[in-house]
Chain A
């Protein structure tokens, strides 16, 4: 069964740090871009970051640049999100998601996030 399971969420004070993990199973993890998407309580979805198959490219939403770092360990089938200098507005449910797409003639054709985890809750509060 294709599955993503997040862990590492919790309560942290403003300015603190937290590291989320996402364990992948049931598919060839190293063949996919991977993303983190978050959802503040009662709000909509916000894409946070993604990372290329080999870890050689990362992209971030502006509000987390310089504070968050996405990384992966293909040998462990795991995705990570290191979150530093956390703010109250970072509070929410953080989803790990698989980016579905394929390369053809040096171009990447992106289809969407087709597998999602159940989410990890991050609460930033004093």
Chain B
């Protein structure tokens, strides 16, 4: 059971906009910033979003993040086939790093 709660799966068609939610509590998302990671099949994770809504260089602006209270969301617009991957949210909880259980995104 993960500290942060994500839906196990999400799907969309090419060009569509999809959102992935991440629910936490006052001790993690409620008081700390949120990261999002993308893990393509067979690959190491990649930092997608930091500080709730900032993109590292090289991350397309199709990816956006937001946070409100104890929840956060990742939005992917203009969905592409190469976006098919697992997505994880993460935040600090006291001195521990906690991840969501991951959401498997399928591009139909």
Question: Contact at B44–A116, with CB atoms within 8 Å?
Answer: yes
B-facing mask of A103-118, CB < 8 A → 1, else 0? 0000000111110111
CB of B37, distance to nearest CB on chain A (Å): 7
Question: Contact at A45–B44, with CB atoms within 8 Å?
Answer: no
Question: Contact at A112–B90, with CB atoms within 8 Å?
Answer: yes
- List chain B residues, Cβ under 8 A from A50: 97
Question: Contact at A112–B88, with CB atoms within 8 Å?
Answer: no
Q: Give the nearest-CB partner of A48 in chain B.
A: B97
In the bound assembly, the distance between CA atoms of A66 and B32 in angstroms comes to 27
Most buried by A among B50, B96, B97, B101: B97
Asked if B99 CB lies within 8 Å of chain A CBs, one says yes
A-facing mask of B17-38, CB < 8 A → 1, else 0? 0000000000000000101010
- List chain A residues, Cβ under 8 A from B96: 47, 59, 61-62
Given the known inter-chain contacts A112-B35, A116-B44, A117-B44, please indicate yes or no for A44 contacting B50, CB distance below 8 A: no
Asked if A119 CB lies within 8 Å of chain B CBs, one says yes
Question: Contact at A111–B51, with CB atoms within 8 Å?
Answer: yes
Asked if B12 CB lies within 8 Å of chain A CBs, one says no
In the bound assembly, the distance between CA atoms of A100 and B99 in angstroms comes to 17
- List chain A residues, Cβ under 8 A from B39: 45
Asked if A29 CB lies within 8 Å of chain B CBs, one says no
B-facing mask of A9-51, CB < 8 A → 1, else 0? 0000000000000000000000000010100000011110010
CB of B104, distance to nearest CB on chain A (Å): 10
Q: Which residues from 74 to 126 on chain A have a C-beta closer than 8 Å to any C-beta of chain B? A: 95, 100, 110-114, 116-119
Given the known inter-chain contacts A100-B50, A110-B92, please indicate yes or no for A44 contacting B35, CB distance below 8 A: no
Known contacts A95-B44, A95-B45, A111-B50; 19 further A-B pairs (Cβ under 8 A): A37-B45, A45-B45, A45-B90, A45-B102, A47-B90, A50-B97, A59-B95, A59-B96, A61-B96, A100-B47, A110-B33, A110-B92, A111-B35, A112-B37, A112-B50, A113-B35, A113-B37, A114-B50, A116-B45
Which A residues form the contact surface with B (CB < 8 A)?
A: 35, 37, 44-47, 50, 59, 61-62, 95, 100, 110-114, 116-119
